[in-house]
Structure 1
Amino acid sequence: MQEYTTQQKARAYDGVASPFNHLVKEVKALGMKKPAETLSESKVKFINRILEDIQGFIKDEPEARYLDLLDDEALPQYSDAILILSQYEGALHGFLSRYHGYQGSTKGHDWFVKG
């Protein structure tokens, strides 16, 4: 049975997916050099802004219960940040695979939306 999302949530995904993917790539690259190094407060705040945007449209999805923000008081190490970002990667993948795919009516890939 096909599941549907809203146009608003589909647009939110489209708006955050690319910045998030670039962020993950950058954090992983920095973490490979020094995984035990602590992130700066400004990096944590920037990352959390993107994570909060994702939480906004994914809050009703099954994966949402595993999505935490980075702790901006006890600054995390890169390895911790990579673990958290990996959870978001999985949640975004689940959202995309659940609500995006081939549409016979348009003969192309698009969001499955209602309303």
Structure 2
Amino acid sequence: MSKKEYYQSAENVEKFKMLSELLDSIYLEMKEFSKKKPDEPLNTFKCKNVNRVLTQLQELLNEEPTIGFLDLLDEETLPTNSDAILVIGQYQASMKRYYNKYTDTYRNWNIK
């Protein structure tokens, strides 16, 4: 049984690619911080920088079922490094689901 084909605009595909690279970079950096000091809170600068990417991801993923699980980092209370990794990991899972939904069996994007 073949998978149902879903289509995405070329603009959204390019946005996905850019944000995916940024998210991967953020994840790797935060993972290192989390290994060293998991319970240390993020500083305001890092939190705002991460949220800039997460906000654009929320816009891209707005119509996807996973959107209800995607939160921004709280700039008031400043999450710990390990909390930030948890949130970023949810975005990564949602991005993987998005990729699988809008690509074909050969991993080509289904562009409308």
User: Structure 1 length as normaliser, TM-score?
Assistant: 0.89
The question of 1:86 aligning with 2:89 is answered yes
Corresponding residue pairs, total: 109
CA offset at residue 101 of structure 1? Answer: 3.1
**Aligned residue in 1 for 2:43:** 40
User: Aligned residues: percent identity?
Assistant: 31
The answer to which structure, 1 or 2, has the higher relative contact order (CA under 8 A, 6+ apart) is 2
Listed as ranges, the matches of 1:22-101 within 5 Å are: 22-101=25-104
CA offset at residue 102 of structure 1? Answer: 4.3
**Aligned residue in 2 for 1:110:** 108
SS in 1 for 2:108: strand
Return the letter of the residue paired with 1:79: S
Structure-2 separation of matches of 1:101 and 1:44: 35
* Superposition RMSD in Å: 1.1
User: Structure 2 length as normaliser, TM-score?
Assistant: 0.92
**Aligned residue in 2 for 1:3:** 6
SS in 1 for 2:77: coil
Structure-2 separation of matches of 1:72 and 1:27: 16
Which structure has greater strand proportion? 1
SS in 2 for 1:37: coil
Which sections of structure 1, spanning at least 5 residues, go unmatched? 104-108
CA offset at residue 5 of structure 1? Answer: 1.5
Maintained 8 Å contact 2:5/2:104? no
Which sections of structure 2, spanning at least 5 residues, go unmatched? none
CA offset at residue 110 of structure 1? Answer: 2.3
SS in 1 for 2:104: strand
